[in-house]
């Protein structure tokens, strides 16, 4: 009996032990395996669900597909219209893919290997614009805000990113902000591959913000990021900063303690909506939102699906967003979240370069 005759469950189990490159090679051997691997969303959904513990929200503002096998505990939920399906989602989460990218930046891997992987997924029109994926100078500019970076339980999320010197996070310098200092941040070397310019937006001084929670955070007198309680818009300085960003991180403290969960979630939603109004005002309707559900190792009080629904993310028509559980103790979950942010930024740049090239060709032909 050959591989092509095996039941799908056994076939999937065998492939779960193979590296990504071997799976791609098997899918290229014949039409049968090409259809069974490269054109089979169920196979890639199985790998994303059970190996990466991620859910993929479908188009149209709906949540995860109702026929999903939830025999695993999801640690992340992604809705990104630019992703073409579970196959691409698995690629961006693959450790092997990240290692190939690192090798390309160091010229240790033949540069045809990455395009072969990507060309089986991305539109053919982009094939000549994939250089951003192995550009050693590629960087993203992100702003981090929310009660999660100010709560005594989870405020060390920022410390773990800007004060550690590891292979994952290494603070290498400062990022200049707007005149007056607002919007300054830290340059972080992530995975020894990418430069992340991280800007932390705190509501007030540490002494003041430690006493603020819930509805108190939504009062302009306590929160310097809000213009006024009547306008429900970000402060003018925030509006000046938003156009320069590639992503916004919204951090929440979802560790266990006594509280009215529904009421608390409503405050979170209101705070996020203020920032979303600012993005709409700045015409940044497609800027990705990354929600970080932070805890100290204990289980969060919300599942990623519940949190997405509570924050109203499922109603956003076209904006890319993701929700990830993050363990502050060991930063588990943060790397997958940043991998998605960076991959999305890579694709956005490739798409922009493609349209710019076409525009140039059109002008030259006139």
Domain boundaries, the chain: 3-100, 139-348
Which one has a higher pLDDT value, 342 or 39?
Answer: 342
Rounded CA Rg of the chain: 21
Check pLDDT > 50 for residue 214: yes
Least confident of 102-116, 287-301, 352-366: 352-366
Q: In the numeric block, which tokens belong to residue 167?
A: 């292979």
Residues with Cβ < 8 Å from 363, sequence gap 6 or more? none
Check pLDDT > 60 for residue 258: no
Least confident of 101-110, 282-291, 295-304: 101-110
Q: Tell me the CA distances in angstroms from 161 to 152, 182, 270, 296, one per residue in order.
A: 16, 20, 27, 15
Which one has a higher pLDDT value, 55 or 261?
Answer: 55
Residues with Cβ < 8 Å from 337, sequence gap 6 or more? 76, 290, 292, 322, 324, 326
% residues pLDDT > 70 (the chain): 80
Q: In the numeric block, which tokens belong to residue 186?
A: 């830290």
Other CB atoms within 10 Å distance of the CB of residue 52:
19
Whole-number Å distance between alpha carbons of 116 and 130: 11
Q: In the numeric block, which tokens belong to residue 350?
A: 């490739």
Which one has a higher pLDDT value, 167 or 207?
Answer: 167
Other CB atoms within 10 Å distance of the CB of residue 136:
11
Show contacts of 204-209: CB within 8 Å, 24+ apart: 209/150
Whole-number Å distance between alpha carbons of 287 and 246: 6
Check pLDDT > 50 for residue 60: no
Helix (H, G, I), strand (E, B) or coil at 59: coil
- Fold classification of 3-100 is Monooxygenase (1.20.1280)
Contact between residue 64 and residue 56 where contact means Cβ atoms under 8 Å apart: yes
Instruction: Tell me if domain 3-100 and domain 139-348 are identical in fold.
Output: no
Within a 13 Å sphere around the CA of 145, how many CA atoms are in the beta-carbon half?
Answer: 24
Span 139-348: which CATH code? 3.40.50.300
Contact between residue 250 and residue 242 where contact means Cβ atoms under 8 Å apart: no
Q: Which residue has the tokens 């942010």?
A: 341
Contact between residue 200 and residue 148 where contact means Cβ atoms under 8 Å apart: no
């Amino acid at each position: 009996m050959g591989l092509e005759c095996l039941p799908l469950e056994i076939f999937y189990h065998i492939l779960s032990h193979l590296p990504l490159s071997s799976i791609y090679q098997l899918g290229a051997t014949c039409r049968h395996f090409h259809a069974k691997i490269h054109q089979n969303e169920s196979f890639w959904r199985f790998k994303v669900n059970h190996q990466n513990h991620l859910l993929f929200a479908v188009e149209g503002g709906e949540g995860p597909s109702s026929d999903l096998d939830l025999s695993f505990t999801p640690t992340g939920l992604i809705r990104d219209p630019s992703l073409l399906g579970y196959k691409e989602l698995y690629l961006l989460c693959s450790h092997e893919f990240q290692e190939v990218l690192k090798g390309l930046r160091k010229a240790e891997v033949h540069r045809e290997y990455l395009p072969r992987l990507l060309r089986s997924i991305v539109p053919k029109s982009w094939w000549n614009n994939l250089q951003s994926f192995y550009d050693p100078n590629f960087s993203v500019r992100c702003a981090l805000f929310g009660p999660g970076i100010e709560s005594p339980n989870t405020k060390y999320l920022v410390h773990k990113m800007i004060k550690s010197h590891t292979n994952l996070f290494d603070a290498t310098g400062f990022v200049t902000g707007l005149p007056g200092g607002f919007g300054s941040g830290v340059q972080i070397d992530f995975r020894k591959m990418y430069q992340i310019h991280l800007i932390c937006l705190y509501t007030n001084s540490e002494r003041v913000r430690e006493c603020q929670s819930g509805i108190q955070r939504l009062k302009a007198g306590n929160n310097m990021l809000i213009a006024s309680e009547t306008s429900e818009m970000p402060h003018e300085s925030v509006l000046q900063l938003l156009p320069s960003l590639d992503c916004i991180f919204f951090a929440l403290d979802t560790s266990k303690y006594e509280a009215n969960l529904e009421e608390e979630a409503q405050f979170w939603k209101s705070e996020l909506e203020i920032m979303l109004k600012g993005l709409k005002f700045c015409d940044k309707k497609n800027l990705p939102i990354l929600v970080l559900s932070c805890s100290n190792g204990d289980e969060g009080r919300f599942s990623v699906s519940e949190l997405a629904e509570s924050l109203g993310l499922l109603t956003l028509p076209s904006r890319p967003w993701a929700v990830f559980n993050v363990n502050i103790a060991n930063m588990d979950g943060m790397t997958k979240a940043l991998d998605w942010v960076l991959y999305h930024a890579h694709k956005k740049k490739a798409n922009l370069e493609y349209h710019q090239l076409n525009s140039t060709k059109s002008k030259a032909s006139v």
